[in-house]
Amino acid sequence: MIKSIAVAGKGGTGKTTIAALILNCLLKKSSGPILVIDADPDANLGFLLGIKVEQTLGDIREEMLEEIKNFPAGMDKNQYIEAGLHQILEEAKGFDLLTMGRGEGSGCYCYLNSLVRKFADDLIPMYRWIVMDNEAGLEHISRRTTSNVDVLFVVVNENPLSIETARSIEKITRGMERDIGKKFIITNKVKPERLEKIRENIKDIGIEYLGDVPPDEKLEEMIFNGESLLNLNDSPSLNSVCKIIDTVLSRENVSV
């Protein structure tokens, strides 16, 4: 079953935008609850979804570590941390948003990381879908601070370096089939006349190409105006993302 869908790729390729559009498609298509995870330290998925993120996990991490140091013996640290994690879960219509925020400082976070992982593991069964926006390097996936991914979209745009990032993502994730089920490349915001050449250049990466998300003025206008991408309807980028999602789900025989 496909449950978690993640987006990766070089900075600026459109990961966050595409994650927001995937959420838009799933909300229109499926009635199940959705957990959206913004795992990019430069967190801005909330903004594209019209949510003002008050606190990230990174914001409260130090605070929690400090608190648990001074905890009296016999008091439940885990419960305290779980309450803290619940507090940063933003509840919206049809989905919840968890914003990871900045990565770790110099302290030892092993204990906290394992609790975050447990928190995520406990949360995940409560949702039908998980949509995850990633940092470019996928470090947290290799660190295993986030849960498994069933479908990973690697975004490539007109920047030739984005193809190199796709190549390195393929390398990092090779042999991680248990953690990352299926990988697909999608192109984004590419001029039609350049698409053929880019498709040629990604052929040897070893990740299947699944489709293109065209440049979309209506989308750009909405972002410029600070409007939630969940209000986008029937526009070229959204239609393409929804078609890509449909293709993946129908291939895997997933009903929504």
Q: Does residue 138 bind ligand ADP (CB under 6 A)?
A: no
Shortest distance (Å) from residue 18 CB to ligand ADP: 7
Q: Which stretch binds ligand ADP (CB under 6 A): 107-115, 119-127, 169-177, 216-224?
A: 216-224
Shortest distance (Å) from residue 132 CB to ligand ADP: 12
* x/- track of binding to Mg ion for residues 31-70 (CB under 5 A): ---------x------------------------------
3-state SS string over the chain? CCCEEEEEECCCCCHHHHHHHHHHHHHHHCCCCEEEEEECCCCCHHHHCCCCCCCCHHHHHHHHHHHHHCCCCCCCHHHHHHHHHHHCEEEECCEEEEECCCCCCCCCCHHHHHHHHHHHHHHHHHCCEEEEEECCCCHHHHHCCCCCEEEEEEEECCCHHHHHHHHHHHHHHCCCCCCEEEEEEEEECCCHHHHHHHHHHCHHHCCEEEEEECCCHHHHHHHHCCCCHHHCCCCHHHHHHHHHHHHHHHHCCCCC
* x/- track of binding to ligand ADP for residues 152-191 (CB under 6 A): ------------------------------------xx--
Q: Which stretch binds ligand ADP (CB under 6 A): 23-31, 140-148, 196-204, 209-217?
A: 209-217
Which of the choices ligand ADP, Mg ion, none does residue 188 contact, using the CB cut-off of 5 to 8 A by kind?
A: ligand ADP
Q: Does residue 32 bind ligand ADP (CB under 6 A)?
A: no
Which of the choices ligand ADP, Mg ion, none does residue 38 contact, using the CB cut-off of 5 to 8 A by kind?
A: none
Name which position in 11, 50, 94, 103 contacts ligand ADP (CB under 6 A).
11
Interacting residues with Mg ion (CB under 5 A): 15-16, 40
